[in-house]
């Protein structure tokens, strides 16, 4: 965990996030060194492709390697179940990986997939909260967008025990984005302390962000160099500086 106070989410001051990946300790070491040169507030460690993800001591070593030099950034641990080796794509293995990451006490927040069994979600959220680690529930909007399906999915998982939600979506038009935001605002009206982190995929969302639309998201995602889904960190930093 960084030496800064824990992760705080404020729509008025969105934080810039970069994703860290690596298959080996050596690759992670190189990636940490490279990312430390960029003006990021948050580093998301996506552990799913790390070849030691099933070995708890290796996860611990990786987190020590990552968090030790990152004194000015918060660290979010994520591990998308669908990106894990197929053998480990089980509810129990996924739960164990996240549980161990929380128990290390080295992270500031942990992302939990909304497809996990509700009892396991509650257990992980409670464990994280007790350790002063922010639980973030990840909601993925895959396939063609349907406002009613999105609303059903959203309201079925939002609870009073978790206040931060990572919405990963691929709006294709102003109308779809407006429908997504309307659903989120409706949910916020019921759950007043809820915070939604919006990550768009695809060219539409990237262009909207380039034009200054930050989707009222307290965290925004970039890449060292521009990709299909993300602006470069330099360009997104410029967008935030201009707001």
82: in domain: yes
CB 168, CB 219: distance < 8 Å = no
Residue 105 DSSP class: T
Instruction: Name, in order, each residue with C-beta under 8 angstroms of 52's C-beta and a sequence gap of 6 or more.
Output: 25, 58, 59, 61, 62
2: in domain: no
Q: Where are the alpha helices (DSSP H) in 81-228?
A: 91-104, 118-130, 147-157, 174-190, 203-210
CATH number of residue 220's parent domain: 3.20.20.70
6: in domain: no
How far the first Cα of the chain sits from its last, in Å, is 29
232: in domain: yes
The 10 Å CB-count burial string (b at 16+, else e) for 115-141 is: ebeeebbbbbbebbeeeebbbbbbbbb
1 pLDDT tier (thresholds 50, 70, 90)? very low
Q: Where are the alpha helices (DSSP H) in the chain?
A: 25-35, 56-67, 91-104, 118-130, 147-157, 174-190, 203-210, 233-242
C-alpha of 142 from chain center: 16
79 pLDDT tier (thresholds 50, 70, 90)? very high
> What pLDDT was estimated at residue 173?
93
84: in domain: yes
Query: What range defines the domain where residue 122 resides?
Result: 15-242
User: Mean per-residue pLDDT for 21-28?
Assistant: 96
21: in domain: yes
227 pLDDT tier (thresholds 50, 70, 90)? very high
**pLDDT over 90 (residue 176):** yes
Percentage of the chain lying above the pLDDT 90 cut = 75
**pLDDT over 80 (residue 121):** yes
* Cα dihedral across residues 145, 150, 153, 158: positive or negative: positive
CA max distance for the chain: 47
Each residue of 185-220: pLDDT tens digit? 999 888 888 999 999 999 999 999 999 999 999 999
**What's the domain count of the chain?**
1
CB 17, CB 25: distance < 8 Å = no
Residue 88 DSSP class: G
Q: Walk across the sheet containing 164-169 and list its strands.
A: 195-200, 164-169, 134-140, 109-113, 74-78, 42-46, 15-20, 219-223, 231-232
Burial class (CB in 10 A: 0-12, 13-18, 19+), 61: middle
């Amino acid at each position: 965990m960084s030496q800064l106070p824990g992760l705080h989410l404020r729509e008025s001051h969105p934080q810039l996030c970069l994703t860290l990946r690596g298959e080996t300790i050596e690759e992670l070491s190189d990636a940490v060194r490279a990312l430390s040169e960029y003006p990021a507030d948050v580093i998301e460690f996506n552990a799913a492709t790390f070849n030691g993800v099933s070995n708890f001591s290796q996860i611990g070593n990786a987190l020590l390697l990552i968090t030790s030099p990152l004194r000015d950034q918060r660290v979010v641990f994520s591990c998308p179940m669908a990106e894990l080796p197929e053998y480990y794509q089980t509810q129990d293995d996924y739960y164990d990986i996240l549980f161990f990451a929380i128990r290390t006490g080295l992270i500031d927040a942990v992302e939990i997939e909304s497809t996990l069994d509700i009892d396991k979600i509650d257990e992980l959220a409670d464990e994280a909260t007790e350790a002063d680690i922010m639980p973030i529930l990840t909601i993925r909007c895959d396939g063609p967008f349907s406002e009613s399906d999105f609303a059903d999915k959203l309201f079925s998982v939002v609870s009073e025990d978790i206040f931060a939600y990572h919405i990963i979506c691929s709006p294709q038009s102003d109308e779809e984005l407006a429908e997504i935001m309307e659903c989120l605002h409706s949910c916020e009206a019921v759950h007043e302390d809820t915070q939604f982190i919006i990550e768009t995929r695809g060219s539409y969302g990237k262009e909207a962000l380039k034009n200054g639309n930050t989707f009222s998201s307290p965290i925004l995602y970039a890449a060292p160099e521009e990709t299909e889904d993300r602006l470069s960190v330099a360009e997104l930093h410029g967008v935030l500086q201009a707001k």
